[in-house]
Amino acid sequence: MKLLTRHGYLSLLLCVGIFSLIIFHFWDEELEFTSGQPFSDTERPRPASTSRGLCRPGVPCEFPEIVDLRVILLTFHRPDSLHKALNSLDALELDGDVAILEIFIDRYKNGSIHKATVQVADNFTWRKGLKRVHRQMKPVGIYGQWIDSWKPPKDSDELAIIVEDDVDLSPFAYRWLRQTHLRHGRKSFISGYTLQDLNIRIPHGKNINREVNRVNGAVLKRYPAYFFRVAGSWGFAPHPKRWREFQEWFHTDAEKLRHPYVPKARMNTNWYKDFERQHREDSMWTMWFIYFTDQHDLSTLVSNVPKFSSSKTNSLSCNRLEPGLHFKEGRTKSAQHCQKILMKSWSEKFVANSVQLPLIGYEGQYLGLV
């Protein structure tokens, strides 16, 4: 055989490259095709295997059925972390309500998907309800994962808890959410429900880096929940009505907005600017939500059960701070740590029964009862 010229060699490499891309593409598609449980026609209504093509990048996803709770689990390339998150969901108390678990798996910028993560998602059987695995059709990033994975059905009572794969939930997260929504959900200024009780941080004085959690005034010890201007994303249940409006805005008017800065939300805006300098602002979808909620005077209802009950083991959600798109190595907390701080027994007192709750402003100031 004749030796290949340099040019020929390069072309060959290129051909092999393109060919493997094609194979890769087909293989991926085929996997997609065969990943669902095989079903016969009589079993067809089971929605568990019909995720293919249901949700499209850039379009808030509408699902074919209405349920009480949709758990939206966002993942990318952390199979172990996903596995832990799934295990925590197996203990979720539903009180007879109907729930579906929707797992969204994002893609690398080159279009490939993390196989081990897909395997964990496919292999998991949720004890509490049906499960769908959505492989994003193209890379959508954190914005697409968060903003477009649940379009709340109109005139329904469906709620969603949106979590990334490093967040574990208490078995009572849904009970708390449902009962709290029942009592406070008609308030027109609620942006959503923040399950995360820690890390509601507020800058202290002039030094933006000396942030302290000032939301611990005496007044708060009397309430299992309060309102805060800034939503937390470690376990977030958007208010269905407001979330639809936010999605609508994000895909229309927000496109004309270059920087979603909110001067009053000083710390968050500074984080966002830092991210912009590092070209990582695509990891902070919350800034757009903060902008939207600021414009509409909305606040999030935050769980305060740990402080209210004077117990550090009454959290509704816990972030393991796994290395990934938000955190670097080194801050990780173990699943055991999370199991320890998550609420394990229930009391009716954990639901805010009073008609009004304290409102906390951007700088941590108490603004009165609302």
Ligand X SMILES: *[C@@H]1O[C@H](CO)[C@@H](O)[C@H](O)[C@H]1NC(C)=O
Site for ligand X in 111-140 (CB under 6 A): 112, 119-120, 123
Our finding on whether 24 is near ligand X (CB under 6 A) is: yes
The 10 Å Cβ neighbour count of residue 207 is: 8
74 SS3 class: strand
202 SS3 class: strand
Q: Which stretch in 25-33, 106-114, 175-183, 293-301 sits in contact with ligand X by CB under 6 A?
A: 106-114
Least distance between ligand X and beta carbon 57 (Å): 18
Nearer residue to ligand X within complex by CB, 145 or 247: 145
Amino acid, res. 218: A
Report yes or no: 257 and 291 within 8 Å, Cβ to Cβ: yes
Phi, psi of 359 (to 5 degrees): -110, 130
Nearer residue to ligand X within complex by CB, 37 or 112: 112
- Residues contacting ligand X: total by CB under 6 A: 7
Report yes or no: 127 and 98 within 8 Å, Cβ to Cβ: no
Least distance between ligand X and beta carbon 232 (Å): 29
Among 5, 40, 110, 278, binds ligand X (CB under 6 A): 110
Least distance between ligand X and beta carbon 104 (Å): 18
Task: Please report, to the nearest 10 degrees, the dihedral formed by the alpha carbons of residues 86, 87, 90, 93 taken in order.
Answer: -100
Nearer residue to ligand X within complex by CB, 39 or 108: 108
Least distance between ligand X and beta carbon 131 (Å): 13
DSSP character at residue 342: B
Structure token digits, residue 151: 């379009």
Nearer residue to ligand X within complex by CB, 2 or 109: 109
Least distance between ligand X and beta carbon 120 (Å): 6
Report yes or no: 343 and 329 within 8 Å, Cβ to Cβ: no
| Residues forming the site for ligand X (CB under 6 A) | 24, 108, 110, 112, 119-120, 123
